[in-house]
């Protein structure tokens, strides 16, 4: 199998896990736990590994984060738990992500369900979108005994974990196994259902006591340049790689427009497919890149080239096939401005854009208040309509969107929904 289609890190062996877990100092009120957006009690789960209490270890993780198997693989640990490890200053921080995966693999490989559905409350909750925020919220609500249905517009559940995280980090099976675990908590997952196309706001209100919106973001915005129809969408490109689609092929020269984490993923796939020269284009400099520093370092190590201060102008084609990209240099004042007359051509047979995603449209369609295009929520993730809550990328007006933040949103919203449903009963 191609390198791009297998997980980068092998599981830790029992011996590796023991040595690593034994290095953990078991800090009190540990900074790794503080740094984790879901606040997993990390020293606690790590200390259970050497004593072979892997069930207890997994329980500790899942109690704070139902998608612990995904987060173990995709979390930017350098920015979170491992970045805060007290051993990091002078030594190597504990490999928390990989130890978490070790504990998670134990329950998933052995078919162990750590949690059971709660006693039924008779309350019905709809979750729109089966990505990390949606599955987290659904699972937490099911543990509390609520009757949860998740509506997912795509074929498979898991959202970006299934379709948008490169296999190098997370194979599809891991995301699907997590969704299956959530389903075994009694959550119904209906795929191929899009809100409001297939399910109107009125339907939702009529059939459910509360709604959680976890719809993520929209399509990649247009660059607005001639020949744009020849440019591939970065998320589609990653999705093809995850589904192992036959149209995925190497090319002598591939251009990636954008310099965020998704762009880096696209470049990594192109390179590992065996493409010749893979170049990332960014209209600003490396100082403004939104990609994590460790991702940038990773992709440079993969042999990817960079063209900074570069703006695409038009796609060049030859007999209906991509032949190159005409670009222009920019300068920062402080926004990037094209420098007249600096045009040049980068030859390429494939061009991929990963320049962020459009704001979610569902919020407006359901008549919810928005903030800078994102769905507006309060601290409990309640929208402008009392029975509708939202979380994940669709509310991320500020800060970096990430899987673990989405999982935490699902957890917070589940608690708020549970409380609001209890209040309704009391009233």
Give the CA count within 13 Å in the CB-facing half-sphere of 256: 29
* Binding test (CB under 8 A) with other proteins, winner from 11, 56, 83, 338: 83
Whose tokens are 């050497």? That residue is 50
- Partnered with residue 281 across adjacent β-strands are 257, 307
Residue number with CB closer to other proteins (100 or 408): 408
The residue range among 35-43, 103-111, 148-156, 190-198 that interacts with other proteins, by the rule CB under 8 A, is: 35-43
297 interacts with other proteins by CB under 8 A: no
Residue number with CB closer to other proteins (21 or 235): 21
Instruction: Answer whether 404's CB lies under 8 Å from 165's CB.
Output: no
Nearest distance from C-beta of residue 396 to other proteins, angstroms: 14
44 interacts with other proteins by CB under 8 A: no
Contacts of other proteins in 386-415 (CB under 8 A): 405, 408
Q: DSSP states of 223-277 as a string? A: ---TTGGGSEEHHHHHHHHHTT-TT----SEEEEE--SHHHHHHHHHHHHHT-SE
* Binding test (CB under 8 A) with other proteins, winner from 87, 193, 225, 397: 87
Residue number with CB closer to other proteins (51 or 244): 51
Q: How far is CA 16 from CA 95, 99, 102, 253, in A?
A: 10, 9, 10, 40
28 interacts with other proteins by CB under 8 A: yes
14 interacts with other proteins by CB under 8 A: no
DSSP state, residue 283: S
- Partnered with residue 347 across adjacent β-strands are 324
Nearest distance from C-beta of residue 35 to other proteins, angstroms: 4
69 interacts with other proteins by CB under 8 A: no
Using left for φ > 0, alpha for ψ between -120 and 50, and beta otherwise, residue 24 falls in beta
Integer Cα distance of 100 and 49 in angstroms: 10
Instruction: Answer whether 171's CB lies under 8 Å from 154's CB.
Output: no
Helices 96-109/54-64 angle, 10° precision: 110
Residue number with CB closer to other proteins (28 or 334): 28
* Binding test (CB under 8 A) with other proteins, winner from 6, 13, 14, 19: 19
11 interacts with other proteins by CB under 8 A: no
* Binding test (CB under 8 A) with other proteins, winner from 90, 202, 229, 247: 90
* Binding test (CB under 8 A) with other proteins, winner from 5, 12, 49, 84: 84
Kindly list the residues in this chain that would bind other proteins in the complex (CB under 8 A).
Answer: 18-19, 22-23, 25-29, 31-32, 34-37, 39, 50, 78-80, 83-84, 86-87, 89-90, 379, 405, 408
């Amino acid at each position: 199998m191609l390198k791009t289609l297998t997980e980068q890190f092998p599981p830790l062996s029992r011996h590796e896990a023991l040595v690593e877990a034994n290095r953990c100092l078991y800090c009190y009120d540990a900074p790794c736990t503080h740094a984790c957006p879901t606040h997993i009690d990390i020293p606690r789960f790590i200390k259970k590994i050497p004593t072979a209490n892997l069930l207890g270890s997994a329980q500790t993780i899942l109690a704070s984060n139902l998608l612990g198997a995904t987060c173990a693989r995709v979390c930017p640990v350098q920015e979170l738990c491992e970045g805060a490890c007290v051993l990091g200053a002078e030594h190597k921080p504990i490999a928390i992500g990989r130890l978490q995966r070790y504990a998670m693999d134990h329950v998933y490989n052995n078919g162990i369900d750590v949690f059971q559905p709660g006693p039924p409350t008779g309350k019905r909750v709809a979750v729109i979108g089966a990505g990390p925020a949606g599955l987290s919220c659904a699972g937490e609500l099911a543990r509390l005994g609520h009757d949860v249905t998740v509506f997912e517009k795509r074929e498979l559940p898991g959202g970006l974990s299934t379709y948008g995280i490169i296999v190098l980090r997370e194979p599809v099976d891991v995301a699907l196994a997590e969704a299956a675990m959530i389903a075994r908590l009694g959550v119904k997952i209906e795929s191929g259902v899009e809100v409001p196309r297939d399910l109107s706001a009125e339907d939702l209100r009529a059939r459910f006591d509360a709604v959680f919106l976890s719809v993520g973001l929209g399509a990649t915005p247009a660059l607005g340049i001639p020949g744009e129809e020849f440019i591939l969408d970065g998320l589609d490109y990653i999705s093809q790689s995850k589904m192992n689609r036959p149209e995925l092929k190497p090319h002598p020269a591939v251009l990636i427009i954008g310099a965020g984490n998704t762009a880096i993923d696209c470049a990594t796939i192109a390179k590992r497919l065996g493409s010749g020269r893979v170049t990332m284009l960014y209209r600003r400099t490396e100082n403004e890149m939104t990609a994590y520093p460790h991702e940038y370092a990773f992709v440079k190590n993969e042999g990817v080239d960079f063209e900074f201060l570069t703006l695409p102008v038009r796609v060049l084609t030859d007999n209906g096939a991509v032949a190159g990209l005409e670009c222009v240099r920019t300068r920062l004042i402080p926004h990037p401005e094209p420098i007249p007359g600096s045009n040049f051509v980068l030859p390429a047979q494939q061009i991929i854009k990963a320049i962020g995603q459009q704001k979610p449209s569902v919020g407006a369609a359901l008549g919810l208040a928005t903030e800078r295009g994102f769905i507006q929520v309060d601290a409990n993730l309640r929208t402008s309509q009392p029975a509708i809550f939202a979380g994940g990328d669709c509310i991320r007006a500020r800060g970096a969107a990430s899987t673990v933040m989405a999982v935490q949103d699902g957890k917070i919203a589940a608690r708020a929904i549970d409380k609001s449903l209890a209040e309704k009963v009391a009233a």
